Amino acid sequence: MTKVMKILKGRKKMKRNYQKELEQILEKEEKGKRLLLHSCCAPCSSYVLEYLSQYFEILVYYYNPNIYPKEEYEYRVEEQKNFIQKLNTVYPVTFMEGEYDPQEFYQAVKGFEDNKEGEQRCYLCYELRLKKAYEVAKEQNCDYFTTTLSISPYKNAQWLNEIGEALGPFKETSSYLVADFKKKNGYKRSIELSKEYGLYRQNYCGCIFSKKEAEAKEKE
């Protein structure tokens, strides 16, 4: 089955309440386990870190070869590191940067460059980043892995959770931590925290295509 077919198949599935499922896991799970949190940027990580660091020791993994241009990437990395240093947490939060090789992204989304944000190109972009997060979580002996991406109203939480779950558990008791962080006012709280900490909120998702789309919208 091609990746695009998988996408269409996913669309027909019944919708799950991922936030509720996350709450059930948090209720049952022993506190202080290790979570690898893939992060796309400091503002999106703000609420997720505030929320999940009450339950987990977190390794923030910054792997985003989709971001264009390099200066923007570097700026977002610095914002992420600074935010982690400033945030008070119950369990410790550490940082790890992945490799920045934009060719990995262009290769992954080949043929889908003309898509609009939210279409198949984004599915492939999620998949690329989650696969890497999964591998690093295994290497780092984490108990869970997840991503901040579902906090954005522009991101498809169902796709993210389906991709994460399909990667499968890497330890007997560990796997993708299902989530839909925009729920329960998560997105609203991320905006509040961004203001409180003076975080840079970019006006486009990250890739060159989303940058052009945002610029075209601005002109309109």
Rounded to the nearest whole angstrom, what is the least distance from the CB of residue 178 to ligand SF4 in the complex? Answer: 19
Q: Does 206 bind ligand SF4 (CB under 6 A)?
A: yes
Exposure string for 137-161, b = 16+ CB within 10 A, e = fewer: beeeebbbbbbbbbbbeebbbbbbb
Q: At its nearest, how many Å lie between ligand SF4 and the CB of residue 149?
A: 8
Q: Checking DSSP bridges between strand 33-38 and strand 144-147, what pairing results, if any?
A: parallel
- Is position 205 an interface residue for ligand SF4 (rule: CB under 6 A)? yes
Q: Does 181 bind ligand SF4 (CB under 6 A)?
A: no
Q: How far is the CB of 91 from ligand SF4 (least distance, A)?
A: 29
Distance (Å, rounded) from C-alpha 189 to C-alpha 187?
Answer: 5
Length of the chain: 220
**Cα–Cα distance for residue pair 109/128, rounded to 1 Å:** 9
Is residue 7 near ligand SF4 by the rule CB under 6 A?
no
| Cβ atoms within 10 Å of 50's Cβ, excluding its own | 17
Name residue 145's beta-bridge partners: 36, 176
Told to check if 61 binds ligand SF4 by CB under 6 A, we report no
Give the one residue of 45, 66, 146, 147 binding ligand SF4; rule: CB under 6 A.
66
Asked whether the bond before 65 is cis by omega within 30 degrees of 0, the reply is no
CB of 161 to ligand SF4, least distance (A): 15
Nearest to ligand SF4 of 41, 142 (CB atom): 41
Distance CA 1, CA 109 (A): 17
Q: Shortest Cβ distance from residue 204 to ligand SF4 (Å)?
A: 8
* Count of chain residues binding ligand SF4 (CB under 6 A): 11
Q: Is residue 210 part of the contact set for ligand SF4 (CB under 6 A)?
A: yes
The residue (of 86 and 212) whose beta carbon lies closer to ligand SF4 is: 212
Kindly state the smallest distance separating residue 209's Cβ from ligand SF4, in Å: 6
Q: Considering only the C-alpha atoms of the chain, give the largest distance between any 2 of them, rounded to a whole number of Å.
A: 52
Of 109-148, binders to ligand SF4 (CB under 6 A) are 109, 117, 121-122, 125
Cβ neighbours for 144, distance < 8 A, ≥ 6 positions apart: 33, 34, 35, 36, 56, 137, 174, 175, 176, 177
Q: Rank residues 43 and 55 by Cβ distance to ligand SF4 and give the closer one.
A: 43
Residues interacting with ligand SF4, by CB under 6 A?
66, 109, 117, 121-122, 125, 205-207, 209-210
